[in-house]
Structure formats: C-alpha cells, structure tokens
Amino acid sequence: MTEQVVSEFLAARRPRRTDAARNFDALLAAAREAFAEHGAEASLEDIARRAGVGIGTLYRNFPTRRHLFETVYADEVGELSLAADELAAEPPWEALSDWLRRFVAHALTKRAIREVLAGEETEVFVACRRLMYDASAPLLHRAQAAGEVRADMSIDDLLRLVSGVGSVSFADEKQRDRVLSIALDGIRTTA
C-alpha cells in the first residue's frame, strides 16, 4: 500500500508530454544536487539554471518550494526501494552495505527537506518512511540470517544509526565514507 501511495503521488505530479516530462526529470535531478550541496537554502533560480530551464518552468511543475521538496523526497525513496529490490540477488552483506551507502547519500537531501518542513508529517512522508523500512528490512534480515550482521538489531536501529552518519557535516566525501565504514564495521559479526 505504501509503495502505491508514493507511486500515485509521483505519477500525479509527473507531466504526460514527453518534453514536459524531460524538464520535470531535469528539475528533480538539479534539485537533488542543489539540496545536497546547499541544503534547504538552495536557490530555485539555481535549480532551474542547472536543469537548463526557465524559472517559469520550475514553478509550472512545482508551484511551491514544498511541492519541489516533497517530490524530490518521494522520487529518491522510490529509487531506494527499487535499488533494494535489485540488490536482493547480491550476497547478503554486499546487498545491505551497498543499499546503506545509497541511503546515506539520500540522507543529504532528506536533511534539507527536514529543515524546510520542520517535522510536518504528511501522508506522502509517512508513506515514504514506511516504504523505506519495507524495502530495507528484507536486506537486513537476509544478512542477519546469514550470520553476517548482529542479530540484536532492528531495521529501525540500523536506519537511525546510518541516518546519523548522513545528517552530520563532513570535511569531504572521503571522511563521510570512512565514518560510514566504521559504523558498518560495528554492525558486522564477521571481519
């Protein structure tokens, strides 16, 4: 059900015309980049420029800043859900750790969105959170069943741990990756 809510939300926002859909996708990609770099203060004019469209096109697709934040967030969660499905065929530890690395990259955008929405809970955000948990839990359970990850950890524990890594500012990506690796080493049962 949660996947359906997120899919319907995105489908309702996505234009039907090919050229308009292309602009919509370019705006989402540009917004994701800008939010990761500048947080909630990312300029809408900069996002439109990065996407190669005018500011009017941005506002036609996303009438408010909130519309843009919600859509970027739902799109990223949808991609993370698909990634979890694709990774299910990989060995348990590799699947889980690869997905968690993607999740940390997503946390950069999530931090900017959280700043703007100040903790408001909408149906879309609740559905996105549930989808995130539903997509990642099987990866954790497989790794636990294989004896590669601590058995005393829930998916909520794990996502909070990794969200913490994603919510902190680092000197550079190398440092963020190193800290994430340290956290992941802490959940493993094998070297």
pLDDT digits (tens, 9 = 90+) for 44-86: 999 999 999 999 999 999 998 888 888 888 888 888 999 999 9
Can you say whether residue 149 is alpha, beta or left, with left for phi > 0 and alpha for psi between -120 and 50 degrees?
Answer: beta
Question: What is residue 1's predicted lDDT score, i.e. its pLDDT?
Answer: 47
Question: What is residue 115's predicted lDDT score, i.e. its pLDDT?
Answer: 65
Domain count, the chain: 1
| Structural domain boundaries, residue 45 | 2-187
Give 17-31 pLDDT, tens digit per residue.
888 889 999 999 999
Phi then psi for residue 166, to 5 deg, are: -75, -20
Question: What is residue 120's predicted lDDT score, i.e. its pLDDT?
Answer: 67
CATH number at residue 113: 1.10.357.10
pTM: 0.81
Question: What is residue 119's predicted lDDT score, i.e. its pLDDT?
Answer: 62
Give 134-185 pLDDT, tens digit per residue.
999 999 999 999 999 999 999 999 998 988 887 777 788 888 889 999 999 9
Distance CA 129, CA 165 (A): 18
More confident residue, 116 or 72: 72
Within 10 angstroms of residue 34's Cβ, the number of other Cβ atoms is 23
